Amino acid sequence: MTVAVRSFAKINLGLEIGPRRPDGFHGLRTVYQTIALHDRLRVEVARGIGIEIRSNDPRVPCDESNTCWRMAERAMKALKARGRVVIHIEKSLPVQGGLGGASSNAVATLLALERGLAKQLPSAERLRLAAEVGSDLPLFLVGGTVLGVGRGEQVYPLEDLPSLDCVIVTPEVGISTPQAFAEWDRRQEAGGRMQETGKLTAAAASDKLVGSSHAVCAWLSGSSTGVPAQRGGDRAEALLLDLVHAGIENDFESVVFPLHPELRRVKRALAGAGAGYASLSGSGSTVYGLFRSRELAQKAALRLGAEGMPAVATKTLTRREYWKRLRD
């Protein structure tokens, strides 16, 4: 049997980094939002044993370091299935781009295997497997607008934002997430030395996470109660204004922008082209802008493209659209 699925990308609407935990991960708070850009996967279970990965993109690893491999291994075991798993990844999303491509591919592998084998794991088991493979996987088992806490793997469906037009720009700069976290720590420690003790820094980081929860809450409740039930551009504009007013930001910008100033220029260019809100996604290198209309987003993508920035106009996906399109 062969099953074909779409594997969508995400952006982060704000990302607050907390203290480093004893397990080496960082506590964080973020709002994930799925978007329409996607890879395509074909997953086949044939006679035999083992896992094989093929991709049109030579940058995709085809060994056990691939998240799809790690998921296929776990999923076959959990589903008590046998066979040779062949995964074809038709890559359109950037590799290491901050759009969660590899994480999304792994979740797509799980969903395709379940469908192909006509078996389903309980959702708690799915979430457990996903979190084991990586912090950014579980969000793709929810889709739409998702709150991420813990190390990002604890996910809660939020009231979906309406579909928003956006422009995604991914400059050819490879950013490693572990390195970005390490650089964050280095800067925190340098800052912390000026404070009395390291403990104080950790406490301040925890407080900051609570503050960011309040900001997200203010933004989301402002948008659901403060904005009259308008359609289209007005509603999008009000939401974006709320987002800016709530002060929601991505902490990775303070680490990544000084190292790659061209990304800060992209953010400015998006704002200059009319984005209501612009930000780095994850640890980058993707920078996105949210726009109040499709027309504005398309114009902005053209303008940035003409200035040599690889920009594409797309839209955010609500939970319903995400699941519908994934299976179509």
The footprint of ligand C5P (CB under 6 A) covers 25-26, 28, 134-136, 151-152, 177-178, 181
Look-up of token digits 């309406």 = 162
E-strand ranges in 50-149 read 51-55, 84-90, 145-149
Alpha carbons 277 and 241: distance in angstroms, whole number? 8
Which residues lie below 8 Å from residue 169, measured CB to CB, with a gap of 6+? Answer: 266, 270, 286, 287, 288, 289, 304, 309, 310, 311, 312
Interhelix angle for 261-272 vs 294-306, to 10°?
140
Determine how many CB atoms are found less than 10 A away from the CB of residue 117. 18
Per 3-state DSSP, the chain is made up of helix, strand and coil in percentages (nearest 5) of 45, 25, 30
> Which residue of the set 10, 91, 267, 315 is catalytic?
10
136 counts as catalytic: yes
The closest alpha carbon to 105, from 151, 147, 145, 72, belongs to 72
Is residue 208 part of the annotated active site? The answer reads: no
35 phi/psi in degrees, rounded to 5: -130, 170
- The answer to whether the CB of 33 falls within 8 A of the CB of 303 is no
Residue (108 or 313) nearer to ligand C5P, CB: 108
Contacts by residues 219-222 (CB-CB < 8 Å, ≥ 24 positions apart): 219/243, 219/245, 219/246, 219/248, 220/158, 220/159, 222/246
DSSP 226: I
Q: Which is nearer to ligand C5P, 135 or 286 (CB)?
A: 135
CB nearer to ligand C5P: give 14 or 276.
14
Q: How far is the CB of 20 from ligand C5P (least distance, A)?
A: 7
Nearest-approach distance from CB 18 to ligand C5P, in angstroms: 9
Query: Residue 30 Cβ, how far from ligand C5P at the closest point, in Å?
Result: 9
Closer residue to ligand C5P (CB): 30 or 55: 30
Report, in Å, the least distance between residue 177 CB and ligand C5P. 5
**Annotated active-site residue in 39, 136, 160, 251:** 136
Of the two residues 151 and 235, which places its CB atom closer to ligand C5P in the complex?
151
Of 31 and 290, CB closest to ligand C5P = 31
Min CB(48)–ligand C5P separation in Å: 29
Task: Work out how close the CB of 152 gets to ligand C5P at its nearest, in angstroms, rounded to a whole number.
Answer: 5
**Of 58 and 178, CB closest to ligand C5P:** 178
The span from the CA of 207 to the CA of 116, in Å, is: 46
Minimum CB–partner distance for residue 118 and ligand C5P (Å): 30
Alpha-carbon span 156 to 145, nearest angstrom: 9
Beta-carbon contacts of residue 286 (< 8 Å; ≥ 6 apart)? 11, 94, 97, 98, 99, 168, 169, 170, 280
261: its two tokens: 């100033």
Give me the active site residues, please.
10, 136
